[in-house]
A = this chain, B = another copy of it.
Amino acid sequence: MADNLRIALAGLGTVGAGVLRLLAENGDLIAARAGRAIEVVAVSARDRGKDRGVDLSSYAWEDDMTAFAGRDDVDVVVELVGGSDGPALALARKALAGGKGLVTANKAMVAHHGLELARLAEASEAPLRYEAAVAGGIPVIKGLSEGAAANRIERIYGILNGTSNYILSKMETTGRDFGDVLSDAQALGYAEADPTFDIEGVDAGHKLAILASLAFGTQLDFAAVDASGISRIRAADIAQARALGYVIRLIGLADCDERDGTRHLFQRVAPYLVPVRHPLAAVDGPTNAVVAEGNHVGRLLFQGAGAGDGPTASAVVADLVDIARGNRMAPFSQPVDSLVASTPADPGDRRNRAYVRFTVADRAGVLAEITAAMRDAGVSIESMIQHGHPEDGGEEPVLVAIVTHEGPESGVARALELLEGSPALVDEPLVMRLVG
């Protein structure tokens, strides 16, 4: 058997401790598969004394994790610290520049600095891997960049944030409102104290930007992701969707269209209405799922646990096994300098059906105002449902939900512009598209 693959582990939170547990439990089997053992040489974390339930005594300790880059006894650095910049990025740069491999679960860092890190990795001929950064334990980076490598990818979309999906599933099964369910999720550890990145689509946006680059051979462009989240969804929206035969899911979706020599890259994270018979509708709780549509393979679906110490550790160690086996794919599937620049696609051109929910003051004439704006913007209404009676003079704002026929997104946008400033609307309208 070849020499051990020697690793240094930065960050000993749940995932870091999970990696150590996994290697201890499955080490023999991994060595048989990888052709060599994976050996933890050194570790680093903020607090050396903390009890993590794993024995650290056989590993060297570094107070400063960037010291890993200088250790001759380390082949690969595993970065599980998190954060797009700061110490994680400093470590990643130093490790790769020094010719060490890097495995990371850090979606924010890869989304923001992936190209720079890939350039460093390619210059040093050092491996850079980040399977755990997207969709937790699901081998979707591998599925996309290797399994589907023979295909032009036409579209990629999926459920990329477990916290949001857990909240939406709970709202669905309990009929409760967003705020309630979020509080419960926080108490249960499914949502963080500051849940902004998860519920506002930022975390899913990081993952989507990475997937889009791999799928379309475009340069990573997280800044161009059009991200919105689930915090404005109400129990009534979910009930409404259900009545129409849909469930609501936070979907990250990307496609890429080449026109006049320019790649128009569309990247959106938003709540969508998904038909109940669609495979993504059955994805409940913290599960993630990704669909890739290739021009020869058709629709591929990858599904599994999107977070948690075991699944994330599984993805981290799968990367280490790949490195141990000598798999030397470029970090972004093809050489970083061959990735092409793209321009953000104009969403106004996209055709789909939309669900538009208005929160209206309870006064006469409001339905006429809304339908007139839709007509003037050329939007054809398929159905309109109201909760409560907006024109019977009550005091509570009521909800009016419209589903449009298929049309360009610019139509709905124009209708909402026409309604802007209307005293009939007491809140910004919520637009969700239907997955076709």
Residues of B within 8 A of A317 (CB): 149-150
Query: Are A147 and B142 in touch, CB under 8 angstroms?
Result: yes
Query: Are B29 and A217 in touch, CB under 8 angstroms?
Result: yes
Query: Are A314 and B34 in touch, CB under 8 angstroms?
Result: no
Q: Report the Cα distance A320→B178, complex, angstroms.
A: 48
Query: Are B326 and A328 in touch, CB under 8 angstroms?
Result: yes
A169 to chain B, nearest CB (A): 12
Residues of B within 8 A of A325 (CB): 327-329
Q: Quick one: CB contact mask for A309-334 with B, threshold 8 Å, 1 for yes?
A: 01101111110111001111110011
Q: Quick one: CB contact mask for A329-370 with B, threshold 8 Å, 1 for yes?
A: 110011100100000000000000000000000000000000
Query: Are A32 and B310 in touch, CB under 8 angstroms?
Result: no
Instruction: List A residues 114-153 near B (Cβ within 8 Å).
Output: 131, 137-139, 142-143, 145-152
A293 to chain B, nearest CB (A): 10
Residues of B within 8 A of A295 (CB): 25-26, 310
Q: How many residues of A contact B (CB 8 A)?
A: 63
Q: Quick one: CB contact mask for A358-385 with B, threshold 8 Å, 1 for yes?
A: 0000000000000000000000000000
Q: Report the Cα distance A144→B170, complex, angstroms.
A: 31
Q: A318 is contacted by which of B131, B149, B327 (Cβ under 8 Å)? A: B149
Q: Report the Cα distance A95→B111, complex, angstroms.
A: 44
* Chain B, residue nearest A138 (CB): B300
Q: Report the Cα distance A148→B302, complex, angstroms.
A: 13
Query: Are B146 and A334 in touch, CB under 8 angstroms?
Result: no
Q: A313 is contacted by which of B25, B150, B315, B318 (Cβ under 8 Å)? A: B150
Copies of the polypeptide in the assembly: 2
Query: Are A305 and B311 in touch, CB under 8 angstroms?
Result: no
Instruction: List A residues 25-64 near B (Cβ within 8 Å).
Output: 25-26, 29-30, 32-35
Q: Report the Cα distance A254→B297, complex, angstroms.
A: 26
Query: Are B304 and A149 in touch, CB under 8 angstroms?
Result: no
A153 to chain B, nearest CB (A): 10
Residues of B within 8 A of A327 (CB): 146, 325-329
Query: Are A30 and B149 in touch, CB under 8 angstroms?
Result: yes
Query: Are A294 and B314 in touch, CB under 8 angstroms?
Result: yes
Residues of B within 8 A of A320 (CB): 150
* Chain B, residue nearest A301 (CB): B303
Q: Report the Cα distance A310→B295, complex, angstroms.
A: 8
Query: Are A300 and B299 in touch, CB under 8 angstroms?
Result: no
Q: Report the Cα distance A147→B143, complex, angstroms.
A: 8
User: A244 at interface (Cβ–Cβ under 8 A)?
Assistant: no
Residues of B within 8 A of A34 (CB): 149
The listed residue with most B CB atoms (<10 A of its CB), out of A279, A304, A321, is: A304
Residues of B within 8 A of A18 (CB): 296
A380 to chain B, nearest CB (A): 31
21 A-B Cβ contacts within 8 A?
Answer: A22-B296, A25-B152, A26-B150, A32-B338, A35-B334, A131-B147, A137-B297, A142-B142, A143-B302, A146-B321, A146-B327, A148-B318, A149-B318, A150-B318, A296-B313, A297-B310, A297-B315, A298-B305, A301-B301, A325-B327, A327-B328
B-binding residues in A (CB < 8 A): 18, 22, 25-26, 29-30, 32-35, 131, 137-139, 142-143, 145-152, 217, 277, 279, 282, 289, 294-305, 308, 310-311, 313-318, 320-322, 325-330, 333-335, 338
Give me 12 other A-B pairs in contact (C-beta within 8 A), A32-B217, A297-B315, A299-B304 excluded: A26-B296, A32-B338, A33-B334, A35-B335, A137-B300, A139-B146, A142-B146, A146-B321, A147-B318, A149-B318, A150-B317, A289-B301
